[in-house]
């Protein structure tokens, strides 16, 4: 599951991507909060993280605010998930970027690693292929992955 912080980040980025497509200029944090449904105080920290990572930029002044500085097709959802929540791997021994050996485990014979490794590899292929554009209204990401259909279960 993604955290609420990541969900707010993705919603804010979607607002900025939609705004960039309309070429209306930067948005103030209040506008982003209102359109994304994210609390302003929470959003301030998120936007700073995204700015430091080079995903968004900001302008000062009367017509200032935040804006997406990358094309939405070039903003990887995996990059955003890692930025906000840290490693994607369900086990530290599966992480490519934050690998750590598990305590009391023989990685060569670990059935937990084997099972979750297969799941994680499939998840990575999917999540690495998704971009911010896929979150925008005109996108249809489920058409790329027909086996994934939304349902009420979790």
In a domain, 138, yes or no: no
Q: How far is CA 121 from CA 3, 4, 22, in A?
A: 21, 24, 36
**Residue 11 shares a structural domain with residue 62:** yes
Q: Which range marks the domain in which residue 124 is found?
A: 76-130
- Are residues 64 and 81 both part of a single domain? no
Q: At 76, phi and psi to the nearest 5?
A: -70, 135
User: Which of these three, 68, 84, 110, is where a domain ends?
Assistant: 68
Give per-residue pLDDT as tens, 45-76: 999 999 999 999 998 888 889 999 999 999 99
**18 and 63 share a domain?**
yes
Same structural domain for residues 55 and 81? no
Q: How much is the average pLDDT of 92-98?
A: 83
pTM assigned to the model: 0.80
H-helix or E-strand spanning residue 117: helix 111-129
Q: How many domains in the chain?
A: 2
6-52 confidence digits (pLDDT tens):
999 999 999 999 876 556 779 999 999 999 999 999 999 999 999 99
Question: For residue 10, what pLDDT is reported?
Answer: 95
* One domain, residues 63 and 80: no
Same domain, 53 and 81: no
- Residue 50 and residue 21 in one domain: yes
In this prediction, residue 44 carries a pLDDT of 93
Which of 26, 41, 68 terminates a domain? The answer is 68
Q: What per-residue confidence (pLDDT) applies to 84? A: 95
Check which CATH number belongs to the domain holding 64 and give it. Answer: 1.10.10.10
Same domain? 63 vs 81: no
Is residue 123 scored above 70 in pLDDT? Answer: yes
Residues 56 and 15 in one domain: yes
CB 40 within 8 A of CB 33: yes
Note the pLDDT of residue 146. Answer: 53
């Amino acid at each position: 599951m993604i955290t609420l912080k990541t969900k707010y980040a993705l919603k804010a980025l979607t607002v900025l991507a939609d705004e960039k497509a309309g070429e209306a200029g930067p948005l103030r944090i209040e506008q982003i909060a209102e359109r994304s449904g994210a609390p302003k105080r929470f959003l301030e920290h998120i936007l700073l993280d995204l700015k430091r990572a080079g995903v968004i930029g900001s302008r000062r002044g009367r017509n200032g605010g935040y804006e997406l500085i990358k094309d939405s097709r070039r903003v990887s959802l995996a990059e955003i998930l890692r930025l906000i929540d840290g490693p994607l791997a369900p086990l530290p021994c599966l992480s490519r970027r934050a690998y750590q050996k598990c305590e009391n485990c023989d990685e060569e014979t670990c059935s937990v690693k084997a099972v979750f490794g297969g799941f994680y590899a499939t998840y990575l292929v999917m999540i690495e292929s998704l971009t911010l554009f896929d979150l925008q209204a005109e996108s249809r990401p489920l058409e790329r992955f027909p086996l994934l259909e939304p349902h009420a279960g979790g």
